[in-house]
Structure 1
Amino acid sequence: MSCCCGDDCECRPLGFLLGLPFAFISLLLSLVGVVIWIVGIVLSCLCPCCICVTAIVELALALIKAPFSVMKWFTKQIPC
């Protein structure tokens, strides 16, 4: 039986391999996101009335999730 046996197939090795360099760049951005997230959490604890800190923390969380989003996007772009 082949790896891709239906329309809902999630096994796409070519998309995975093509997405690896971009996932590595996203991984570096996610490390920046971790630092921003830590600073944002500290700032939001010191001054909870500042709403812009919440937006920065949400941006940092998006950066942290970036490698997974990039790999999902690349694997969906390449057909079996």
Structure 2
Amino acid sequence: MAHCRPLGLLLGLPFALVSLVLSLVGAVVWILGTLLSCICPCCICCAGIANVAMSLVKLPIKVLGWFTDLIPC
């Protein structure tokens, strides 16, 4: 039983909820950044903003994994 963390999910749930809200904001920013970069390809900063927003979308899974790894068995 190397991965014995039964309460890791429950303890990390508040952090995951906060990061879920951030990921929804990131999804909106990603859609807007993608639309702006399609309308005006010379705006390279919109592509960078879209990439940052994608990392926000992936945040809840990263937070849960990070938090459960910190809990000792």
* Common fold: TM-score over 0.5: yes
Q: Equivalent residues in 2 for 1:65-80 (5 A)?
A: 65-80=58-73
Counterpart of 2:33 in structure 1 is: 40
> 2:33 aligns to what SS in structure 1?
helix
- Unaligned segments of structure 2, at least 5 residues: none
Percent sequence identity over aligned pairs: 60
CA distance in 2, matches of 1:49, 1:15: 45
What is residue 19 of structure 1 aligned with on the other side? 12
- Structure 1: state its 5+ residue gaps: none
TM-score normalised per structure 1:
0.84
Q: CA deviation at 1:51?
A: 1.3
Larger Rg: 1
| Counterparts of 1:13 and 1:47, CA distance in 2 | 49
Question: Between Structure 1 and Structure 2, which shows a larger proportion of helix residues?
Answer: 2
Matched residues, number: 73
Deviations 1:34-71 (A, max 9, x none): 10011011001011121111110011001100100100
Partner of 1:56: 49
4+ residue runs of structure 1 moved beyond 6 angstroms? none
Q: CA RMSD in A?
A: 1.1
Q: CA deviation at 1:13?
A: 2.2
